[in-house]
């Protein structure tokens, strides 16, 4: 098989949604809506069959009908969501998304009786049916976990309808507002209008003044709308508390996400506490990085500053080839699965005004190749993002033998393949690179990325936990901003100077709006992958089946059972610390770099900065 690096098919383009529907309001979409309504009505007619003594065969028949309905629902909702992501400023896309949200809420309400019956079934009959449910056992078990927090059918229906015109609209408004932003930055003597994705490229620029201006402009624009964005966040937090704490009875706001992830509270508490305790490890790294940059102390602007070489760029075809080669070096089937995203034309890599910022992978149904959105601009970090999102796609494809009800893994395990993909990429680049300085730059970048994935995300989760309590106590938007800035300064201690505009960083993080407490899944996934990667480097080929089995399980089993089968105990603080030990070893490698090489790079950097700043 020829190397993918020579294949011109991987060009930068917009994705196609034709595998879902040819167009909005097309005959095919209307037919799918009609079939969804018809099948939902037929399912409603089966309500009388839900008895305590129902046979396993009858239950499986009902579940298979739910599968068909779910497949149709997922396709319709994904088309609307992906259309909105590719252009958040399109009125037609906004209207379609609102229409589909309304339809999904109505369908969900009509099917609600099934989950309520199942949660209310006595334990003996539930156990009898789960024993014979095959791959649906864990799906059924998962529903019953929510039994203590389930309301009456009428109340649940009201909540579903309320969300359509309530919290869902707040999130859509947040996206519409923040994705219309443009940022003004003076580059090479002229003012340029940039998207968020474009301005973020300058966070890693060699010019220290340009880095600072980029951050200042980002938070100037977000800060101008801080009252609106902050009030949206407060409303989302109050909605979360009203429903989850006051009505459903959860013990804390984060417990809701923990139960959804099927993780005991103590596991997440242990993870976040170990992260907090390891803040000094990254403070040590930032002091080292400051010495390499020839400054007394880093500013927050300098966190991701290049230490050695910053001129490396990859055109999209080259980046695609590198990522696929990295996957292939581990296992050929991973590369083959990732390649499906390109061949299906399911990857949107262009940078466009109005397009959703950041990156994601949307796995719609097991039989459809996932859709991947990135904003590719040729930076090394963009290559890592491509590897990350294609890792998500591989995870979905390798689990596609499961039902649509069981192939999505829980959020923490969902970050396993993506983060492992980034590790494979770094190893591949390190093996290819013969220049010592470039290899060290890759290592610096890797430690930077572990900070962004572990400590930064854990910091967001810790702030969310604080913010939910502060909103309950009547905190203003400015109070939240002050608390966030204080949390940053506590995390960095005296290793990094934090300027005032970073008080608005939290309102620029979509996850805390869309999916409260999602972010700790990144820290979970990165630390898990560091441990897994160490196993891989130690054991070699015997590791691969264990790893692939974790991915292939999808959402068919609890994350704790999946990991226990691989010999991993996430309840242990020692396990999480072992991930930080890998980071410590990376930092020690950097500390061991010959001093004369560091001095040489400082000299080169000083000459370069003098030219840039003149």
Per DSSP bridges, beta strands 496-497 and 298-299 are parallel
Apex 504 CA angle, 473 and 472, nearest 5: 10
What is the C-alpha radius of gyration for the chain, rounded to an integer number of angstroms?
25
- Do residues 379 and 338 lie in contact, with contact meaning Cβ atoms separated by under 8 Å? no
Residue 302 dihedral angles phi and psi, to the nearest 5°: -95, 5
Please state which of the ranges 270-284, 512-526, 589-603 shows the lowest mean pLDDT: 589-603
Distance CA 67, CA 63 (A): 6
Cβ atoms of residues 50 and 382 within 8 Å: no
Give residue 598's pLDDT band: very low, low, confident or very high (50, 70, 90).
Answer: low
C-alpha 113 chain-centroid distance: 32
Please say whether the beta carbons of 279 and 491 come within 8 A. yes
**Beta carbons of 219 and 501 less than 8 angstroms apart:** yes
Which residues are CB-neighbours of 510 under 8 A, at least 6 positions away? Answer: 174, 175, 178, 357, 358
Fold entry, domain 27-165: Butyryl-CoA Dehydrogenase, subunit A; domain 3 (1.20.140)
DSSP 8-class letter at 11: -
- Sign of the torsion angle spanned by Cα atoms 120, 125, 128, 133: negative
Find the mean pLDDT for residues 491-511. 97
The DSSP line for 42-56 is HHHTTGGG--TT--H
Q: What is the pLDDT of residues 317-330, one digit of tens each?
A: 999 999 999 999 99
State the DSSP H helix or E strand holding residue 248, giving kind and residue range, or none if neither.
none
Decide if pLDDT at 607 tops 70. no
- Give the whole-angstrom CA distance, residue 601 versus residue 526: 30
CA-wise closest residue to 348 among 308, 384, 389: 389
Specify whether the backbone of 297 is left (phi greater than 0), alpha (psi in -120 to 50) or beta: beta
Q: Is the pLDDT of residue 432 over 80?
A: yes
Residues contacting residue 452 through CB under 8 Å, at least 6 positions apart: 304
Neighbours of 367 (CB within 10 A): 10
Which strand (E) or helix (H) includes residue 26? none
Alpha-carbon torsion angle 448, 450, 452, 455, nearest 10: -120
Check residue 597 and give its pLDDT.
58
Q: How far is CA 143 from CA 9, 58, 139, 393, 414, in A?
A: 44, 18, 7, 26, 20
pLDDT exceeds 90 at position 601: no
For residue 609, the model assigns a pLDDT of 38
Identify the DSSP state of 508: G
SS3 of 567, please? coil
The string of pLDDT tens digits covering residues 190-221 is 999 999 989 998 999 999 999 999 999 999 99
d(CA 357, CA 371): 15
The pLDDT score that the predictor gives to residue 22 is 96
Q: What confidence score (pLDDT) does residue 77 get? A: 98
Is residue 384's pLDDT more than 80? yes
- Least confident range from 67-76, 132-141, 429-438: namely 429-438
Q: Domain residue spans in the chain?
A: 27-165
- For helices 416-432 and 543-552, what crossing angle results, to 10°? 140
Strand (E) positions, 487-609? 496-497
The pLDDT value given to residue 197: 87
- In this prediction, residues 76-98 reach a mean pLDDT of 96
Mean pLDDT of 584-613: 62
Element (DSSP H or E) covering residue 372: strand 371-373
Give the angle 411-413-416 at the CA atoms, nearest 5°: 120
User: What is the mean pLDDT of the segment spanning 384-393?
Assistant: 96
What span, in angstroms and rounded, lies between the C-alpha atoms of 170 and 147? Answer: 28
Instruction: Tell me the average pLDDT across 372-380.
Output: 92
Query: What is the b/e burial string over 76-115, where b = at least 16 CB atoms within 10 angstroms of the residue's CB?
Result: bbbbbbbbbbbbbeeeebbebbbebbebbbbbbbbbebbb
| Phi and psi torsions of 283, nearest 5° | -60, -40
Q: Provide the CB-side half-sphere exposure for 532 (13 A, CA).
A: 30
Give residue 599's pLDDT. 52
Question: What average pLDDT score do residues 115-120 get?
Answer: 97
**Mean pLDDT across the chain, nearest whole number?**
92
Interhelix angle 253-260/226-240, nearest 10 degrees: 70
CA atoms within 13 A on the CB side of 469: 9
Whole-number pLDDT of residue 9: 66
| pLDDT bucket at 595, cuts 50 / 70 / 90 | low
CB 281 within 8 A of CB 583: yes
Strand 183-187 vs strand 190-194: parallel, antiparallel, or unpaired?
Answer: antiparallel
Among residues 309, 280, 326, 575, the alpha carbon closest in space to that of 443 is found at 309
SS3 category, 87: coil
Query: Taking a C-beta distance cutoff of 8 angstroms, is the pair 432, 398 a contact?
Result: no
């Amino acid at each position: 098989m020829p190397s993918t690096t020579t294949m011109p098919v991987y060009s930068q383009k917009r994705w196609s949604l034709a595998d879902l529907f040819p167009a909005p309001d097309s005959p095919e979409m209307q037919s799918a809506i009609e079939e969804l309504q018809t099948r939902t009505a037929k399912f409603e007619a089966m309500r009388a069959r839900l008895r305590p003594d129902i046979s396993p065969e009858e239950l499986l028949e009902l579940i298979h009908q739910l599968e068909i309905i779910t497949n149709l629902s997922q396709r319709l909702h994904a088309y609307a969501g992906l259309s909105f992501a590719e252009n958040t400023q399109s009125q037609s896309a906004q209207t379609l998304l609102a229409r589909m949200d309304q339809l999904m809420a109505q369908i969900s309400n009509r099917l609600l009786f099934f989950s309520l019956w199942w949660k209310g079934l006595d334990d003996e009959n539930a156990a009898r049916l789960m024993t014979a449910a095959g791959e649906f056992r864990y799906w059924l078990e998962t529903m019953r976990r929510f039994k203590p927090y389930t309301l009456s059918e009428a109340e649940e229906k009201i909540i579903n309808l309320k969300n359509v015109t309530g919290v869902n609209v707040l999130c859509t408004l947040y996206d519409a507002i923040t994705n219309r932003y443009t940022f003004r930055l003076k580059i090479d003597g002229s003012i340029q209008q940039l998207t968020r994705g474009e301005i973020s490229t300058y966070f890693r620029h060699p010019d220290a003044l340009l880095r600072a201006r980029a951050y200042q402009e980002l938070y100037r624009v977000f800060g101008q709308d801080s009252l609106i964005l902050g009030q949206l966040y407060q409303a989302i937090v109050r909605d979360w508390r009203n429903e989850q704490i006051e009505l459903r009875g959860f013990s804390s706001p984060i417990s809701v996400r923990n139960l959804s992830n099927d993780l005991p509270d103590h596991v997440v508490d242990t993870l976040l506490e170990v992260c907090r305790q390891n803040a000094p490890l990254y403070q040590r790294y930032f002091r080292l990085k400051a010495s390499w940059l020839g400054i007394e102390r880093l500013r927050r602007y300098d966190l991701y500053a290049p230490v050695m070489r910053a001129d490396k760029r990859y055109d999209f075809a080259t980046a695609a080839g590198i990522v696929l080669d990295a996957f292939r070096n581990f296992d050929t089937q991973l590369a083959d699965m990732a390649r499906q995203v390109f061949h299906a034309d399911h990857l949107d890599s262009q940078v466009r005004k109005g397009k959703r910022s950041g990156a994601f992978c949307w796995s719609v149904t097991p039989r459809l190749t996932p859709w991947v959105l990135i904003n590719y601009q040729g930076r090394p970090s963009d290559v890592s993002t491509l590897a990350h999102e294609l890792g998500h796609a591989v995870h979905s494809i390798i689990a596609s033998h499961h039902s649509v009800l069981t192939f999505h893994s829980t959020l923490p395990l969902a970050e396993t393949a993506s983060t492992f993909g980034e590790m494979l990429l770094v190893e591949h680049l390190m093996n290819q690179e013969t220049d010592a300085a470039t290899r060290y730059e890759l290592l610096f970048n890797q430690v930077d990325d572990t900070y962004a994935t572990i400590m930064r995300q854990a910091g967001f989760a810790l702030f969310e936990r604080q913010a939910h309590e502060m909103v309950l106590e009547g905190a203003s938007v400015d109070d939240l901003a002050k608390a966030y800035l204080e949390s940053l300064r506590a995390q960095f201690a005296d290793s990094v100077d934090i300027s005032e505009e970073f008080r608005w960083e939290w309102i620029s993080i979509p996850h805390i709006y869309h999916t409260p407490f999602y972010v700790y899944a990144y820290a979970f996934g990165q630390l898990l992958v560091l441990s897994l990667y160490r196993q891989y480097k130690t054991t070699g080929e015997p590791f691969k089946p264990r790893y692939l089995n974790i991915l292939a399980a999808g959402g068919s089993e609890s994350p704790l059972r999946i990991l226990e089968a691989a010999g991993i105990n996430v309840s242990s603080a020692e396990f999480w610390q072992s991930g930080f030990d890998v980071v410590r070893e990376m930092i020690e490698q950097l500390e061991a770099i010959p001093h004369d090489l560091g001095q040489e790079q400082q000299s080169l950097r000083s000459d370069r900065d003098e030219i840039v700043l003149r």
